[in-house]
Amino acid sequence: MGGHSSYQPKSAFAKWFHERLPIMDLIQGQALDFPTPKNLNYFWTFGGILTMMLGAQLLTGIVLAMHYTPHVTMAFDSIEHIRRDVNYGNIIQKLHANGASMFFLAVYIHIFRGMYYGSYKAPREILWMIGVIILLVMMATAFMGYVLPWGQMSFWGAKVITNLFSAIPFFGDSIVTWLWGGFAVDNPTLNRFYSLHYLLPFVLAGLVGLHIWALHVPGNNNPTGVSVKSGQDTVPFHPYYTMKDAFAIGVFLIVYCLFVFFAPDYMGHPVNYEMADPLKTPAHIVPEWYFLPFYAILRSIDNKLLGVIAMFASILLLLVLPWLDTSRVRSGTYRPVFKQFFWILVLDCLLLGYIGSRVPDNLFWVDTPSHEGGFALTNKLVGQIATLYYFVHFLIILPILGLLETPKPMPASISEAVLAKNKPALPGHKAAVPAE
């Protein structure tokens, strides 16, 4: 693996150890000396932020597990117990609950970064696909974690989402019974969700290891999308990017703490402070904000099976994104038309998120119940259009755009782009750039 490492064991012990387990060489090569494009912007710090957040969720989660009771009669109270009785439990519980939201915030920025700069394109397809699998596992983890406090939203969210599997022809109902371990969401369900919620973050850690391994084969993409051509284009990861990442993590932690300390329930739902009641569904069931766009897609199709298929397809589609985008130019910076469609997609996803939080039959602009008669722009109709656009973007616009669009001229190398940016090109100035 080494390759980039300048590691030389200094002491006799280090040499003895190195011959038996060259881990210091690996660390030096992959984490310290690793050649990294010198033009990475702050969007490239989100991978580090995500790694930190995974660690934070593991730490706070393991602590919560020391005080939580996974039983339908006690789970709800045990969360209150953590918040009221356990030393610092109040803060640790809120760190974990808000941490999930911050984790998703970071991952969505990370994904859109990849989309804008074409980081999914060759030779980074496997890296990207591992990312999509990470996203799916993250979603499963967050979903099961949300069930554990056993509030009304926990229970009904769990019931509605597990019921999605009943749409599967023939085996649907047996699969749902199997998932529940009963004929309704009940104690066996809570127990297994707890077990899996504890397990999956460690699976995530393993996947992140693969993700970074796949990253370190071709190395980072960069804002120009132009591949690294020479040592001129890179700097060692440490100290340049360890410092940049650390600074970004600090800023991110400030935002995170603002929520934890000043608005810990801002992203939650009050009805989840009511204990689960299997005989009464709350008036509005809404998932956590990070699931809203997918929920909107599910609800925009009236056929149960097709709605479920569309929802899963909207994520699985990302697995083949590297082959749907036919343009050979990576970075959106040099793709004037793509850039506009990219931002339309971002708005479309935000719109889907908004629709996911609304009552489908209400009117879109005023969000009041629509009255019969004539054409009405309901939330549902807007959601249907936004859902359609989402798929059109990936399945029609991207493949065609790559063939039709004329990209802007690209810099010959990362160094050239950096220099051009910092010193407006003067005639003859280019010659001053040492050729390597």
Partner 1 sequence: MGIVATGEHADSDRRDFLYIATGAVGAVGVALTAWPFISQMNPDASVLALANVDVDLGPIAEGQSVTIKWRGNPVFVRHRTAKEIEEARAVPIDELKDPLARNNNLKESDPATDINRVVGGKEQFLVMMGVCTHLGCVPLGEQGDYGGWYCPCHGSHYDTAGRIRKGPAPENLLVPRYEYISDTKIRIG
73 binds partner 1 (CB under 8 A): no
| Residue 436, both tokens | 């390597």
- Told to check if 303 binds partner 1 by CB under 8 A, we report yes
- Residue 128 or residue 291: which is nearer to partner 1 going by CB? 291
Instruction: Compute φ and ψ for 79, nearest 5 degrees.
Output: -70, -45
71 forms part of the interface with partner 1 (CB under 8 A): no
Q: Is 280 in the site for partner 1 (CB under 8 A)?
A: yes
If the CB atoms of residues 27 and 271 are measured against ligand HEM, the closer one turns out to be 27
Cis peptide upstream of residue 293 (ω within 30 degrees of 0)? no
Piece of the chain touching partner 1 by CB under 8 A; list 5-13, 135-143, 179-187, 247-255: 179-187
User: Per CB under 8 A, does 182 bind partner 1?
Assistant: yes
- CA–CA distance, 420 with 39 (Å, rounded to integer): 12
Provide the residue type at 144 as one letter. Answer: M
172, containing H or E segment: helix 172-180
Looking at the Cβ atoms of 51 and 90, the one nearer to ligand HEM is 51
Q: What is the CA radius of gyration of the chain?
A: 25
Residue closer to partner 1 (CB basis): 73 or 177: 177
Q: Which of 415, 32, 45, 25 is nearest to 237 (CA)?
A: 32
CB of 98 to ligand HEM, least distance (A): 17
Assess 284 for contact with partner 1 (CB under 8 A).
Answer: yes
Q: How far apart are CA 334 and CA 409, in angstroms?
A: 7
- Crossing angle of helices 172-180 and 152-163, rounded to 10°: 150
Of positions 8, 41, 73, 281, contacts partner 1 by CB under 8 A: 281
> Strand pairing of 35-37 and 234-236?
antiparallel
Q: Return the DSSP state at 169.
A: T
Nearest residue to 58 (alpha-carbon basis) of 260, 205, 268, 261: 205
Judge if the upstream peptide bond of residue 239 is cis by omega within 30 degrees of 0: yes
At closest approach, how far in Å is the CB of 197 from partner 1? 16
Q: Which of 94, 159, 244, 335 binds partner 1 (CB under 8 A)?
A: 159
Kindly report the backbone phi and psi dihedral angles of residue 375, in degrees, each rounded to the nearest multiple of 5, phi listed first.
-85, 130
- Backbone φ, ψ for residue 149 (5° rounding): -70, -10
Shortest distance, CB of residue 166 to partner 1, whole angstroms? 8
Site for ligand HEM, rule CB under 6 A:
44, 46-48, 50-51, 54, 107, 110-111, 114, 117, 119-120, 124, 127-128, 131-132, 134-135, 138, 204, 208, 211-212, 215, 220-221, 318
Give the shortest CB-349-to-ligand HEM separation in angstroms: 14
Q: Distance of CA 342 to CAs 270, 297, 334, 385, Å? A: 35, 19, 13, 17
Q: What SS3 state is found at 55?
A: helix
Site membership for partner 1, residue 368 (CB under 8 A): no
Task: State yes or no: residue 181 binds partner 1 (CB under 8 A).
Answer: yes
User: One symbol per residue from 190 to 219: x for binding partner 1 (CB under 8 A), - otherwise; what is it?
Assistant: --x---------------------------
Considering the complex, state which of residue 48 and residue 287 has its C-beta at the smaller distance from ligand HEM: 48
Does position 270 interact with partner 1 (CB under 8 A)? The reply is no
Q: Which is nearer to partner 1, 236 or 307 (CB)?
A: 307
411 CB burial (10 A radius; 0-12, 13-18, 19+): middle
Contact 216, 34 (CB under 8 A): yes
Q: Does 12 contact partner 1 by CB under 8 A?
A: no
User: Among 67, 81, 83, 304, which residue interacts with partner 1 (rule: CB under 8 A)?
Assistant: 304
Piece in contact with partner 1 (CB under 8 A), picked from 119-127, 128-136, 152-160, 200-208: 152-160
Task: Rule CB under 8 A: say whether 361 interacts with partner 1.
Answer: yes
Residue 143 sits in the site that holds partner 1 (CB under 8 A): no
- Out of 12, 21, 254, 279, the residue judged to bind partner 1 by CB under 8 A: 279
- Choosing among ligand HEM, partner 1, none, which partner's interface includes residue 164 (Cβ < 5 to 8 Å by kind)? partner 1
Q: Which residues pair with 151 in a beta bridge?
A: 275
Check residue 224 and report its DSSP letter: T
Rounded least distance, CB 247 to ligand HEM, Å = 14
Q: Rounded distance, CA 250 to CA 11, Å?
A: 36
Point out which residues bind partner 1 (CB under 8 A). Answer: 156, 159-161, 163-164, 166, 177-186, 188, 192, 278-281, 283-285, 299, 301-304, 307, 360-361
